[in-house]
């Protein structure tokens, strides 16, 4: 499970967490997964608004997939979530500044569009430079993520597949026109994710790198086989014993 590192600022203890899968409302159902390991990019939860606000949660046992529980695709490291691209953010966080989500706590979604780095950097300009780092991605709606949405996904549909472009990280207020929502940029961390989860599927052809490797292994042996065949044939034809037997 991909989430934000700052979500663990209260506790980094795996046994303090439950992972509820396939639910649309916040309920304390008795069916949940327990956590085996929390892997934070920075090793520990950083201060709000810092770089590397991303974490992986390894569950204690494999998940049974269903129509309600499905994995999202990871983008390629080179994927481009271009400015203006339409994406969706979901969560059970505040529905506005100072407005917590009300019962029955239904999952909320907001359509947002990716904001170019320059515009976002200017929006968050501070006396000591911009607060926007290269591993952050900004998006604005009218809608936005808000308090308690952190760690949730920002997903974009690319050629028919949903890819996770961001992880809800921070923002000034919520839904302010001049203050885009800021996300951990997933493409900046896909290599780190693949390092920890080698079997994590990307969105592209994962098996392809094997083709040149197999070819490199098989072509020399095929060549050797051919050469030895030719040498054996030569020996056979010119061998004296063989010549004698033909007499």
Instruction: Tell me the closest approach of the beta carbon of residue 200 to ligand ARG, in angstroms.
Output: 25
Which positions are annotated as active-site residues?
Answer: 6, 53, 150
Radius of gyration of the CA atoms of the chain, in A: 27
Distance of alpha carbon 169 from alpha carbon 152, whole angstroms: 8
Counting residues that bind ligand ARG (by CB under 6 A) gives 13
Which of 38, 56, 145, 154 is the binder for ligand ARG (CB under 6 A)? 145
Could you give phi then psi for residue 127, rounded to 5 degrees?
A: -55, -35
Q: Which x/- pattern, by CB under 6 A, does the window 161-190 give for ligand ARG?
A: -------x-xx--x------x---------
- Evaluate whether 115 touches 139 at the Cβ level (below 8 Å): yes
Stretch of 69-77, 100-108, 129-137, 144-152 contacting ligand ARG, by CB under 6 A: 144-152
Distance of alpha carbon 117 from alpha carbon 24, whole angstroms: 33
150 interacts with ligand ARG by CB under 6 A: yes
Instruction: Tell me the closest approach of the beta carbon of residue 84 to ligand ARG, in angstroms.
Output: 18
Instruction: Tell me the closest approach of the beta carbon of residue 97 to ligand ARG, in angstroms.
Output: 9
Please tell me the total number of residues recorded for the chain in this structure. Answer: 247
- Evaluate whether 184 touches 169 at the Cβ level (below 8 Å): yes
Point out the residue whose Cβ comes nearest to ligand ARG.
171
92 interacts with ligand ARG by CB under 6 A: no
Which of 40, 55, 141, 144 is the binder for ligand ARG (CB under 6 A)? 144
Between the CA of residue 7 and those of 84, 161, 173, 223, 234, what are the distances in Å?
28, 27, 18, 58, 74
Which of 149, 164, 184, 189 is the binder for ligand ARG (CB under 6 A)? 149
Which of 57, 137, 138, 146 is the binder for ligand ARG (CB under 6 A)? 146
Instruction: Tell me the closest approach of the beta carbon of residue 172 to ligand ARG, in angstroms.
Output: 7
Q: Under DSSP, is residue 170 helix (H, G, I), strand (E, B) or coil? A: strand
**What is the 8-class DSSP label of residue 212?**
H
- Evaluate whether 22 touches 69 at the Cβ level (below 8 Å): yes
147 interacts with ligand ARG by CB under 6 A: yes
Say if residue 104 is preceded by a cis peptide, omega within 30 of 0. yes
Distance of alpha carbon 132 from alpha carbon 173, whole angstroms: 16
Instruction: Tell me the closest approach of the beta carbon of residue 157 to ligand ARG, in angstroms.
Output: 20
Q: What is the binding site for ligand ARG (CB under 6 A)?
A: 93, 144-150, 168, 170-171, 174, 181
């Amino acid at each position: 499970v991909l989430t934000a590192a700052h979500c663990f600022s209260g506790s980094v203890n795996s046994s303090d967490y439950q992972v509820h899968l396939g639910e649309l409302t916040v309920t304390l159902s008795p069916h949940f997964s327990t956590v085996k390991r929390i892997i934070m990019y920075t090793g520990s939860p950083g201060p709000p608004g810092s770089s590397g606000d991303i974490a992986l949660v390894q569950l204690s046992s494999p998940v049974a997939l269903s129509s309600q529980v499905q994995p999202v695709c990871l983008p390629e490291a080179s994927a481009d979530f271009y400015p203006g691209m339409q994406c969706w953010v979901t969560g059970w966080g505040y529905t506005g500044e100072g407005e917590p989500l009300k019962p029955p706590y239904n999952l909320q979604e907001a359509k947002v569009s990716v904001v170019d780095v320059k515009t976002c950097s200017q929006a968050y300009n501070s006396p000591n430079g911009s607060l926007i780092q290269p591993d952050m991605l900004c998006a604005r709606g009218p809608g936005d993520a808000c308090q308690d949405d952190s760690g949730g996904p920002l997903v974009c549909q690319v050629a028919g597949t949903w890819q996770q472009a961001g992880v809800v990280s921070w923002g000034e207020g919520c839904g302010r026109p001049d203050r885009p929502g800021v996300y951990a940029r997933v493409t900046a961390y896909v290599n780190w994710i693949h390092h920890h989860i080698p079997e994590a599927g990307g969105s592209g052809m994962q098996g392809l790198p094997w083709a040149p490797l197999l070819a490199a292994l098989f072509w020399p042996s095929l060549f050797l086989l051919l050469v030895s065949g030719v040498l054996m044939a030569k020996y056979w034809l010119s061998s004296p014993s063989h010549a004698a037997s033909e007499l």
